[in-house]
A and B are shown apart, each in its own frame.
Chain A
């Protein structure tokens, strides 16, 4: 068992304004990854403002005090770099990987939009990006079969008022109602240096990065009273299963079984990560062996199970299967539930455990095989657990999980009384 999942140096610093800076030097390739985690996500959105954190992420590419509209992308791509950003319930991250000689440019761009977005924000930009985001919603959630499963699962898993109750993409009505003043206030409230972690990984020495970080970010003012998201750590069990059936234009019946587990980063979530791999990753998994290969009621490419890595509340664990032709949704639901139930009653064998750990080891090292993968990981651990070095603990923690722990956690959180079941039925069979 490796002692560490992160065998590279990590150096950290904190600017006077509270910006945390994390550096992990690696001169293997002449590239450097710059990654900013802002501790704001859709969990911070009040009712009526769903989708705002994500729409805001789009606005961050539309210019700031010293950067003209569309120039951000042009400068990074014109340096040979790759860039993007993502928003989820927990946080918003912005990242670019550039040839190492363009590190300073990347830091300048990030500082300019951290400290100088509001004066550049216009109604025209907001209106344009609102339309882009509405098209993103159509493309990813509305125009594809089963595309709205995640939008349906969240409110079944988390009650109204819970920070994970609504999906990050938001509602069309809220997006239509978004006004400029709200976004200006959003930036002033959350895009402060003391609410962010700057991570730089690759061909750049720590001392140089710290000096550049101070040069570009050092004079940005901290904000003292950043409002926290609602506390979602405890979710009352309802004591009865939640069941939703949707008849839609889908090609075959599909079932999702979902549970609230433990928060990402907790020992319980490590157990659930191994459990999900035993249950639903690969042809050797229980779902594949039982439903796709054994009883042959599920389509082989469409069985699976996974945890969603959310850290601020019991995170979802989701298992899914899609019916083979001629198999009813009832039969499939029964089969899927049975395999999930057996995690508590049929002990995981040594071979199942070894297989899961081997797959997870490869997945971990794959994430670590690029500077951008490493930067995002360090930013996550610094933001969510206060220490980037804790990233090194994850792989050893997975490898230490036992069959007994899996049975215990399964009994604790995968009970039928706490289960969410979402079923899609094709229109013609309804």
Chain B
């Protein structure tokens, strides 16, 4: 035999380290940095408390329009000159938005970082926001969303979110807004949102070789001309569970796959069950080896992939499963998925499954946290959720210590198979009868 039959065991484990974290108050703002010695590339990210949760009801998508408008010229230069200046440093201005924060970042060879942060700050703090530009950017964003909503997924996501959280609430509407909400924004919405949320100092996140970076100079540039303190962020929101499952059918005529989005509300990020919930979600649907992917992809071949996880922000959370399945097997795939969620809630997890889940989640903290971009993202987690410098080491220890009873208890407590909203986006004429016959819950047609 030319192959070695015995599987090798692990060698001696190297100690886990998250890069050393430096926190500093400078020029009215906070700097949080990680030292990556020898790294040629550096990332600087300005974190503002201006996430989608700050957008007023009916103004969904405001942050996205403002993000684009920042690059339409500054007090010092027009849009083209600005683009050429920042791209000459080797970076674009990268903007991002979630429920809790707005992020603007640059990624450059380390010797260009100060110049890049100066340009970043120029756009964030002193954008021109010329009314004609803002209107054009708004129209472009509405068009971009319309393009995006032609893909399978966004309509189903919106239907699920509205059903879980209520469309009368900001958090019951799409994070990035929809084509209609963006088209309805006016110039003043954008300028007011900027002056309210973009002139506070915020936090500057830096990941790079700190021996070659002048943090004080970066902070001076990032926080120049800012004022106002932090605003109250509000506590967790109580979201009631639905009584009884229901199917919401979103018609997509001619679709060769059905898009599944199944979910229910779940706890916010700082809930004490965060770690066992994460592991229960991993066993059920968070990894390739999880129960759902094994059953729906590897056993039945119904899909290219299916995932399910708990996700949470500061104020609320949700458990959701997503997949695209071949149209003809929509109902059986749905029945199998609901069945697996039900089994996991009732029966918990096994030690074998949990061993994979905890090692995987723990190992990912070294395997996936290598690049300056990934480290910067990990630092934003510390800031947004008020976590300590050694959080990643603590998290690793907590993941590795979680036992079957704790994780099974989290599955029993936080999975609610009977309260699931089952959103199906597909060819309604083809799948409706099968979905009704599956008797998983009342079927409602999404308008």
Contacts and interface: CB of A to CB of B under 8 A. Distances in A.
B437 interface: no
A128 B298 contact: yes
A368 B107 CA distance: 14
A97 B13 contact: no
A131 B302 CA distance: 7
Contact of B143 (A139, A143, A324): A324
A301 interface: yes
Given A131-B301, A136-B304, A219-B2, A369 B256 contact: no
Interface stretch (A42-50, A282-290, A338-346): A282-290
A362 B362 contact: no
B429 interface: no
B11 A135 contact: no
Contact of B364 (A82, A103, A116): A82
Nearest to A296: B136
A221 B301 contact: no
B288 interface: yes
Interface string B57-93: 0000000000010010000000110011001111110
A251 B154 CA distance: 14
Interface in A295-311: 296, 299-302
Contacts of B325: 135
Contact of B14 (A30, A129, A140, A216): A30
Contact of B304 (A29, A101, A135): A135
A221 B359 contact: no
B356 A74 contact: yes
Contacts of B205: none
Interface stretch (B36-44, B157-165, B337-345, B412-420): B36-44
Contact of A99 (B8, B13, B304): B13
Interface string A370-386: 11000000000000000
Contacts of A247: none
A78 B360 contact: yes
Contact of A322 (B88, B147, B299, B364): B147
B371 interface: yes
Nearest to B14: A30
Given A138-B326, A282-B87, A143 B257 contact: yes
A284 B254 CA distance: 40
A361 interface: yes
A108 B326 contact: no
B303 interface: yes
Given A101-B11, A355-B84, A362-B90, A115 B363 contact: no
B393 interface: no
A28 B7 CA distance: 28
B151 interface: yes
A252 B371 contact: no
Given A79-B359, A80-B359, A300-B140, A366 B38 contact: no
Interface in A55-85: 65-66, 70, 73-75, 77-82
A100 B301 contact: no
Contacts of A136: 304
Contacts of B272: none
A108 to B, nearest CB: 5
Interface string A236-264: 00000000000001111000000000000
A368 B368 CA distance: 14
A139 B360 CA distance: 27
Contacts of B11: 100-104
Chain B interface category by residue count: 35 or more
Contacts of B89: 358
Contacts, number: 226
A203 interface: yes
Contact of B71 (A103, A115, A283, A355): A283
Contact of A299 (B80, B92, B144, B373): B144
B297 interface: yes
B91 A362 contact: yes
A28 B363 contact: no
Given A78-B355, A82-B368, A108-B4, A135 B257 contact: yes
Contact of B8 (A31, A104, A143): A104
Given A103-B11, A136-B304, A252-B147, A80 B90 contact: no
A406 interface: no
Contacts of B8: 104-105, 108
A366 B8 CA distance: 33
Contacts of B289: 70, 73-74, 77-78
B447 interface: no
Contacts of B108: 362
B91 to A, nearest CB: 6
B192 interface: no
Contacts of B373: 366, 369
A143 B92 CA distance: 31
Contacts of A325: 143
Interface string A321-355: 01011000000000000000000000000010011
Nearest to B8: A104
Interface in B2-41: 2-5, 7-17, 37-41
Given A135-B257, A135-B303, A293-B80, A251 B146 contact: yes
A132 interface: yes
B366 A30 contact: yes
Contacts of B109: 361-362, 365
A292 B16 CA distance: 47
B140 A283 contact: no
Given A30-B16, A135-B302, A116 B3 contact: yes
B231 interface: no
Given A104-B11, A128-B301, A203-B14, A369 B140 contact: no
Contacts of A412: none
B287 interface: yes
B219 to A, nearest CB: 23
Nearest to A8: B38
Given A74-B289, A80-B362, 13 more contacts: A28-B37, A29-B366, A31-B367, A75-B7, A97-B367, A99-B14, A99-B363, A100-B14, A102-B11, A131-B300, A131-B301, A296-B136, A369-B39
16 contacts: A31-B367, A77-B287, A79-B10, A97-B367, A98-B363, A101-B11, A105-B7, A105-B10, A116-B3, A138-B304, A301-B140, A302-B144, A358-B88, A359-B92, A366-B41, A369-B39
Minimum-distance CB pairs A-B, first 3:
A80-B363, A131-B301, A30-B14
